Amino acid sequence: MQGLADFWSQADAVGRAVAALLLAMSIGAWVVILWKAWVLRRTRRDLARAVPAFWDARSLADGRARLAALDRERVLLPLLDAAAASGAAGTLHAAGRAQSQLTRRLRDALHQGLAHLQFGQPLLASIGSTAPFVGLFGTVWAIYHALVGISAAGTITIEKVAGPVGEALVMTAAGLAVAIPAVLAFNIYGQWVAACEAELEGFAHDLRELALDGAARGA
């Protein structure tokens, strides 16, 4: 903390702007990390409970009621509603075959659910990839600023060089401290989203088969 305080007191406007940017990136990353941890953990638990509960139901109405109670992030219910919906008459959507309409509705609902689960991933990737360079820029600028001040003083000793340069390296460490949690979270959450995507795709495929079988029996 003393190094950060010394750096802040000696930094110019550019150095302070870089430090403020790293702070904003860190806050943004941790907000997304904590929010996505809560959402994805809840979604994975709900998928593990809701899908078997739906297929154990005795009717579609009963299955929908079970999904409504267990699907807290609403990634499964849109798929069920898409399987039961129909296109508006007179539209290009309704002009296609019933199987094509069903596939399109399920695909759109699946993409909607995945977009919810993937929200924040680009931000984590961007912070993880750029924060080290932002910190490095702050270090280079701070070293330049310190050397200019030392040269203006007229006398150069190892003590006068080592102190400012050591404090400038704090920015590189700060950039890494911001980037590492973002990169780790991005990789972990990417695996969690992929697992949820596989479950949702399987559920959508099974719903499609159920809807087609029901239409064939009703024909």
The pLDDT tens digits of the residues spanning 3-32 come to 556 666 666 788 788 889 999 999 999 999
Q: What is the pTM of this model?
A: 0.83
What is the tally of helices (H) and strands (E) in the chain? 8, 0
Q: Considering just the CA atoms, what is the radius of gyration of the chain in Å? A: 27
- DSSP state, 154? S
pLDDT band at 56 (very low <50, low <70, confident <90, very high): very high
Q: Are residues 71 and 87 in contact, defined by beta-carbon separation less than 8 angstroms?
A: no
How does pLDDT run across 66-85, given as a tens digit for each residue? Answer: 999 999 999 999 999 988 87
Pick the closest to residue 189 from 28, 23, 22, 43 (CA basis).
Answer: 43
Residue type present at position 64: R
95-109, 166-180, 185-199: segment of lowest average pLDDT: 95-109
**Average pLDDT, whole number, for the chain?**
85
